[in-house]
Structure 1
Amino acid sequence: MSEPQTLPQAFQRHVAERPDVVALRTLGGAVSLTWRQYGDEVRRIAGGLAALGLKRGDVFAALLTNRPEFKLTEMAANHLGATTFSIYNTCSAEQIEYLLSHSGAKIVVTEQQYVERIKASGAAVDHLLVVEDGDVARLEPAADFDFEAAWKGVQPDDVLCMIYTSGTTGPPKGVEHTHRGAFGMAGALTSALPLNADDKVISYLPSAHAADRFVCYYFGTIYGTEITTVADMKQLPAALADVHPTVFAAVPRVWEKLKIGVELQVQANELLAAGFEAGAPQVIAAIRSKLGLDRVKWAVSGAAAIPPGVFAFLQKLDIPVTDIWGMSEIGLATAATPALAKAGTVGIPLPGYETRVLEDGELLIRAPFIMKGYRNDPEKTAEAIDADGWMHTGDVVEVDDEGFLKIVDRKKELIINAGGKNMSPVNIENAISAESMLIGAVMAIGDGRPYNVALITLDPEAAPVYAAKFGLEADPEVLVKDERVIAAVQAGVDAGNDKLSRIEQIKRFTLLPTLWESGGDELTPTGKLKRKPINAKYAAEIDELYARQDA
């Protein structure tokens, strides 16, 4: 078989060459499919979808948790040449209506818990398949269905998938990627961070997230890795202990919580603490093994740079971690091998990617495998990719003497204070949130102002733990009024401020009695701050922070 150029070709190669090797499983192995079994299911489901009218060029959508049915149905749809995309579980009915209408989706696969929301959206789709109702299990091909002809007819330049942007600056845009593009991105990433058929990965992020879709699903399929799906992110620690993955991807907050968790355990054991402080190899190895990270050959962190203190902690544990950077439109474009990684940077451009930095610091990227364009929006596509093929990322960067990039912030989100000083709100927010497990989302404010203030929320997972510790009701409105909780947050702010320049420091903050959840009023489905809506919603709280004159 020649080198694969489409996802179905890569998939079928593994089915043919490694039929008895486990390809797809769930936590604990309750579901475990070999490549042969995976292939048989994809053949059956593809035939059933074809019988429902799905064909090459059509759109297939999923609103699911991270479970095997996502991979099974999407792979089947891709074998028909259909374009696939996922909807975030937190999307409202109104958002679902926009996505399904804009994409032109013909079939949606979902779970019972989302059915009413989809129906409430009023979106017109040909078929709604509900996993618990057996709709997927009952799919069967027509007698004359030619599976081989279907998947062999898929072309490298067919649109493989869409990734819908967060919609922070207007309606979400459907980023289109081809099969050829996915293979180009896979080659670029694995030139620095190798993947092969012996690797094991955990797929736990939402499949609407570009990182999970590409690194775990597409790249995992291309190279034949074993994928373990985790439907609930709270099960991640158990999944790490179950799988002992060889590659792992996370966002800074996951690493921060890992650090705090280990430190709490170490503090509770004097012998362990002494060994850890001394860097005793056996102690370090035991901690890494207990975390389930003892077999990791590389781990990546994205969305924002790992705080230096957290990065140093992971290095002490000998966890080979590196920061990466990318966008839905371009894939993962910069990285360094863990051995060369520098704290606070996102590495260097991967092979195939060209970079330019404009006078204002904006990073431009060019590669033959970036997005095909935004679906049904040539105007926005032309705004993003200029006539010479450069993608204007909107990210402001700094480049050091060795060519390593540091992401400063989004071009449109920089704080320029009353004195004309430019600052990165993300850098400030990360410095504060990294210092306390209790601190959740933080938003720094200071544009046009004399000093910086912040809106701070409690972490949804840590809040109940602190409530139990202090004997309080696990209600944010109760917690934010407790002096011990306020003191713990203040300590985190003080520690974060110590790592910032004087002009960047948070002079005042308000601890909000609400928990900000991804997909809500304040956060996008990927956890990014909706800065303009937050400014509008909490205008009174912000004004109050500046009303006092004793800063």
Structure 2
Amino acid sequence: MESVTRIFDLLQLYRGKYAGKGDVFAWKSRGKWADISASDYIRNSDHVSYALMALGIVPGDRVATIMGNSPFWNFLDMGILQTGGVHVPVYPTLSVENYRFIFTDARIRVLFIGCRAAYQRIKPVLNDLPDLQAYFVLEKQKGLKDWSDLVRLGRKNSNRDLLGSIRSSIRPEDLATLIYTSGTTGRPKGVMLSHVNMVSNFTAVSDILNSRDVNRALSFLPLCHVYERMLNYMYQYMGISVYYAESLDRLRENMREVKPEMFCAVPRVIEKSYATILRKGRNLKGIQKLIFFWALNLGHRFDFDLIRGPAFRLKLLIADRLVFRHWRGAFGGKLSIIVSGGAPLHPKLARVFWAAGIQVVEGYGLTETSPVIAVGTFEPGGVRFGTVGRPLTGVELKLAEDGEILVKGPNVMMGYYNRPDRNAEVFDEDGWFHTGDIGELVNGQYLKITDRKKEIFKTSLGKYIAPQVIENRIKESPFIESSMVIGENRNYPSALIVPNFEYLRSWCEAKGIEYSTNAEMSKTELVIQRIQREIKELNETLDHTWQVRKFILMEKEWSVESGELSPTLKVRRTYMQEKYAALIAGMYGEQIDYQPRHRDKKVKKPGKGFIRKK
């Protein structure tokens, strides 16, 4: 493998080792998959660089992008980086206030906007940015500079010698990107990552896949987040073709079209896939249904020690022939690897996917660590269910007295941009980065994440509650999609629960329960009673002080657009406690005079059929 010390050195692989590759990237254009070749990639990246040089961008200048996943993201990324510019990728779904803060804080010089809708969203901010000297809307719109104008500017001002000189002057230790955290509990923080931060991570992670036969990966998590971005670099480093899904809604269709060997996901995506499979199994009849659930229960018991025994292996072979091969068909037929990160995945799901021939490895990390700290591997003993694997090669890890995970390594960020106060909080005097996550080491080597340090709360009785532990247990129920446990400074824990509406629809049909909308379904007495049974069974496995005494069924799914989820699909707890303050107060019999700051979102008042006591 040729030496890669700076991110844009990946382009050298496409000038040499992968020069003949015809589908470096692919995406849906006008309803058909369109390939981007190695020469396309290099040429377009260079056009971006020449255009930025013509606009006066010099090493250290910040250039921002607001766009979804497509090969154009990669052209812009490499084009920015090989001029020494600092890439500031921003989510397309942020508030105007957050856009204004980020662009002002980073002093953005040039801005690339992916589509007309994003332009309309950001338009009110553009005149408030004194450092902004140019912006382009890639999707053609009258009166605005677009992709063709950018390419034309690059061609007109191409200077290969100057670009080569600039590339040579960029060091691995130089700042490559500013990634602003989603700001779920305050204003966004700019995480400064150098070339070596990212390169050390994707080269170390690539070692895990070296022995695997992977030619094509499907990408659907946002590239502006460090998780998918690092993996995108890893794909390029290994010569794996990257196919960009159209959307989460079309994920199943895209998988059948692309037939990927691997993809990376957050647990929420895996849980939804499993729920769909479970619903289809529930709709089977007679012997087919019996066989399905026999195979499912066998998969839930999957263990690496068990498969060494001939009896279990034979049962697994039969289950594969009758059931599991159809699962793989739903994912395109060639899928063998899923990398899961961003939140804990229930061990039951990991086991059953392994049983089905789809090997799920979990990883753990943060934006501040580029991101991987620990990950499972495919070597013997590389995966232990319920953990996120061992620390990545080159990463040092230890646990503080309170269980907080501390790390050192070449992947750890340079610091927070313009925030010396926050840097002093997260780095101790010995240089250890404090992650804010609580964990434990299983058998002294496998890392298990138990909760976020700042999310652990204390009840009015003085008992500490780790909400993530309870929430992950709640999600074991096929009737429940997600939840948020609350109860700080109150007598007991309660929960906001989003039902699995897709699963409930088939259950209601089987029970003859009539409804017209999801909201009506969530108010139906029999549905509430069924969820109550699930919570009762959960409570029997928890300590008395951790038991969920009351809950509210939400009328619709939480989403990024409606504000409950961050762009990485994590629950925004501070926002949620404000948005649903009236509902939460009602569960505890409190009266509040509440006026939501988010006036565009309706806050439902507590009412009959929503609050249920154990």
TM-score by length of 2: 0.82
Q: Does 1:250 align with 2:265?
A: yes
The residue number in structure 2 matching 1:128 is: 135
Structure 1, gaps ≥5 residues long: none
C-alpha distance 376-313 of structure 1, shift in aligned 2 (>3 A)? same
Determine the C-alpha separation between the residues in 1 that align with 2:509 and 2:291. 30
Farther off after superposition, 403-412 or 481-490: 481-490
* 1:108 equivalent among 88, 93, 111: 111
Instruction: Out of 460-469 and 270-279, give the one that drifted further.
Output: 460-469
Partner of 2:352: 313
- Counterpart code for 1:12: Q
Per-residue CA deviation, residues 423-473 of structure 1 (Å, 9 max, x unaligned), is 320121122234236x44411012333322111235687799999996644
**In the alignment, which of 191, 210, 220 is matched to residue 175 of structure 1?**
191
Distance 1:536 1:88, change over 3 A: same
* CA deviation after TM superposition for structure 1 residue 44, in Å: 2.0
Superposition pairs of residues 122-521 of structure 1, within 5 angstroms = 122=126, 123-124=128-129, 125-133=132-140, 135-138=146-149, 139-140=151-152, 141=154, 142-143=156-157, 145-146=159-160, 147-194=163-210, 199-216=215-232, 218-269=233-284, 270=286, 272-276=288-292, 277-278=294-295, 279=316, 280=318, 281-292=320-331, 294-330=333-369, 331-338=371-378, 340=381, 341-436=383-478, 439-458=480-499, 472-474=515-517, 476=519, 478-487=520-529, 489-494=531-536, 496-497=538-539, 500-513=542-555, 515-518=557-560, 520-521=562-563
1:87 equivalent in alignment to 2:102: no
CA drift at 1:483:
3.2
Whole-angstrom CA distance in 2 between matches of 1:51 and 1:493: 62
- What is the DSSP-based 3-state SS (H/G/I as helix, E as strand, rest coil) of the residue aligned with 1:31? strand
Paired residue secondary structure (2:208): coil
Partner residue of 2:15? 15
Aligned in 2, Cα 1:50/1:474: closer, same or farther, shift over 3 Å? Answer: farther
**Structure 2 CA distance for aligned equivalents of residues 486 and 549 of structure 1:** 8
Q: Which string of whole-angstrom CA distances, capped at 9 and with x for unpartnered residues, describes residues 191-246 of structure 1?
A: 33448895322221112222111112x22223322111124111221222222323
Supply the AA of the counterpart residue of 2:13: R
Instruction: State the aligned residue count.
Output: 548
2: distance between equivalents of 1:175 and 1:326?
A: 14
Query: Which segments of 5 or more consecutive residues in structure 2 lack a partner in the other structure?
Result: 296-315, 590-610
Which secondary structure state, in structure 1, belongs to the residue aligned with residue 498 of structure 2? strand
Give the conservation status (yes or no) of the 8 Å contact 2:206–2:238: no
Question: Quick one: which amino acid aligns to residue 385 of structure 1?
Answer: F
Q: Does 338-347 or 80-89 show the bigger shift?
A: 338-347
How has the CA–CA distance of structure 1 residues 38 and 488 changed in structure 2, closer, same or farther, with 3 Å as cutoff?
farther
Counterpart CA distance in 2 for 1:284 and 1:464 is 23
Query: What displacement does 1:419 show?
Result: 4.2
Q: Is the 8 A contact 1:246 1:295 kept in 2?
A: yes
Q: Once the 2 structures are TM-superposed, how far is the Cα of residue 501 of structure 1 from its aligned partner?
A: 4.2
Deviations 1:518-547 (A, max 9, x none): 264433332333323333343332232223
Contact 2:501–2:518 under 8 Å retained in 1: no
The more displaced of 328-337 and 153-162 is 153-162
Q: Which amino acid aligns with 2:79?
A: A
Query: Given that residues 336 and 357 in structure 2 are in contact (C-alpha distance below 8 angstroms), is that contact kept between their aligned partners in structure 1?
Result: no
Q: Which stretch of the first structure deviates more once superposed, 17-26 or 464-473?
A: 464-473
CA distance in 2, matches of 1:244, 1:322: 19
Q: Which amino acid aligns with 1:373?
A: G
2: CA distance, partners of 1:549 / 1:286: 42
Partner of 2:311: none
- Distance, in Å, in 1 between the alignment partners of 2:474 and 2:2 is 52
Give the drift of 1:403: 1.9
CA distance in 2 between counterparts of 1:116 and 1:521 reads 19
Please report how far the alpha carbon of residue 417 of structure 1 lies from its aligned counterpart in structure 2 after TM superposition: 3.0
In structure 2, C-alpha distance between the alignment counterparts of 1:475 and 1:298, rounded to whole Å: 34
**Residue 312 (structure 1) shift:** 2.5
Distance 1:459 1:173, change over 3 A: farther
The residue aligned with 1:119 is 123
Which amino acid in 1 is paired with 2:197?
A: G
* Superposition deviation, residue 71 in structure 1: 1.4
Question: Do 1:241 and 1:291's aligned partners in 2 also have CA atoms closer than 8 Å?
Answer: yes
1:56 equivalent in alignment to 2:59: yes
Letter in 1 for 2:361: T
> Residue 109 of structure 1: CA displacement?
1.5
Q: Distance in 2 between matches of 1:157 and 1:444?
A: 42
Deviations 1:138-159 (A, max 9, x none): 3232345224334344321222
With normalisation by structure 1, the TM-score equals: 0.91
* Percent identity between the two aligned chains: 27
Residues 176, 372 of structure 1: 8 Å contact kept:
yes
Distance in 1 between residues matched to 2:567 and 2:81, nearest whole Å: 25
Q: Determine the C-alpha separation between the residues in 1 that align with 2:51 and 2:211.
A: 32
